[in-house]
């Protein structure tokens, strides 16, 4: 089975380089990488043009669109259509995978199942060390017990999700991993199952809810279940200031409730347009 990983980005080439460095050294290297840019910055275009030689074991495609506000869902639908392979993994451009991230997604893949993972939200100081190359994500995540005190002092959020137990570990079956929703920065599914719900709902024009929570209940409504890959397919979220506020969540939740009440599992404004 071949997979495409779709990375949602906006201008931040430094974080993207950390991600591509990780993907180039994975235990299972993805067959295709789609950089899904919600914008069209010259810096990103120049970076991608130059980086293909640096990471020559990666098949990199760069998609972009006019920068006229938050349109992440449109960009992601375009990436789904453009993807060449049957299994799709989604991450955000500020999240760096553990060394066996791809392996833990593809080796647990099943049709009619969405794998939903979590993320560790690093603090400001450790993020600075990673960006300045004083510390690598690989070193941090492979020896996280040595950095426990430092991570706590740096106000790391969701620190429990740095615990890593591979899908093939004898401990894996004994770890309780319930999942009720998708986090947009770490999930995967077969492309045909994503098409079953018509992809992302482009009615959402603000961040939060629309690119993750909305997906989960629509998948389940059409018989595609969520399965946790927590503690298996891990990644770290690099620190940055929050980019959205609670008012945006209120607007999105109103859209979500309207569709939920109408049992609108196949969205009207997705990959196929019914509006």
Residue 272 lies in a domain: no
**Spans of the chain, pLDDT less than 50:** none
Residue 266 lies in a domain: no
Residue 50 lies in a domain: yes
Taking only the tens place, the pLDDT of each residue in 156-168 is 999 999 999 999 9
Q: How far apart are CA 161 and CA 190, in angstroms?
A: 25
Residue 235 lies in a domain: yes
Q: Please state whether beta strands 32-37 and 60-63 pair in parallel, antiparallel, or not at all (unpaired).
A: parallel
CATH number for position 20: 3.90.550.10
Residues 218, 220, 222, 223: what is their CA dihedral angle, to the nearest 10 degrees?
Answer: 170
From 24, 33, 12, 82, select the one nearest 54 (Cα to Cα). Answer: 24
Residue 271 lies in a domain: no
Cβ 138 vs Cβ 22: under 8 Å: yes
Could you list the residue range(s) of the whole structural domain that residue 87 is in? 3-261
Residue 274 lies in a domain: no
From 214, 180, 167, select the one nearest 194 (Cα to Cα). Answer: 214
> Residues with Cβ < 8 Å from 50, sequence gap 6 or more?
none
Residue 49 lies in a domain: yes
Residue 275 lies in a domain: no
Taking only the tens place, the pLDDT of each residue in 39-75 is 999 999 999 999 999 999 999 999 999 999 899 999 9
**This prediction's pTM:** 0.95
Cβ 125 vs Cβ 149: under 8 Å: no
Domain count of the fold of the chain: 1
Element (H, E) at 237: strand 235-237
């Amino acid at each position: 089975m071949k997979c495409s990983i779709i990375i949602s980005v906006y201008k931040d080439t430094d974080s993207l380089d950390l991600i591509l460095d990780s993907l180039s050294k994975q235990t299972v290297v993805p067959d295709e990488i789609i950089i899904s840019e919600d914008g069209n910055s010259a810096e990103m275009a120049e970076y991608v043009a130059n980086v293909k030689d640096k990471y020559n074991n990666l098949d990199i495609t760069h998609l972009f669109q006019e920068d006229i506000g938050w349109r992440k869902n449109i960009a992601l639908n375009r990436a789904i259509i453009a993807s060449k392979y049957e299994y799709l993994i989604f991450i955000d451009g500020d999240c760096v995978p553990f060394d066996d991230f791809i392996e833990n997604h593809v080796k647990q893949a099943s049709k009619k199942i969405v794998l939903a993972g979590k993320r560790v939200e690093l603090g400001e100081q450790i993020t600075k060390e990673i960006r300045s190359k004083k510390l690598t994500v690989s070193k941090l995540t492979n020896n996280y017990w040595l950095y426990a005190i430092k991570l706590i002092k740096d106000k790391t959020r969701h620190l429990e999700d740095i615990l890593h137990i591979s899908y093939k570990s004898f401990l894996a079956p004994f770890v309780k991993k319930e999942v009720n929703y998708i986090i947009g920065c770490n999930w995967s599914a077969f492309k045909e199952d994503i098409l079953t719900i018509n992809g992302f709902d482009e009615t959402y024009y603000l961040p939060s809810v629309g690119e993750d929570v909305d997906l989960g209940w629509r998948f389940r409504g059409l018989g595609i279940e969520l399965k946790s890959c927590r503690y298996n397919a891990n990644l770290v979220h690099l620190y940055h200031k929050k980019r959205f506020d609670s008012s945006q969540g209120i607007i999105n939740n109103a859209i979500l409730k309207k569709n939920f009440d109408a049992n609108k599992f196949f969205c009207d404004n997705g990959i196929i347009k019914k509006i």
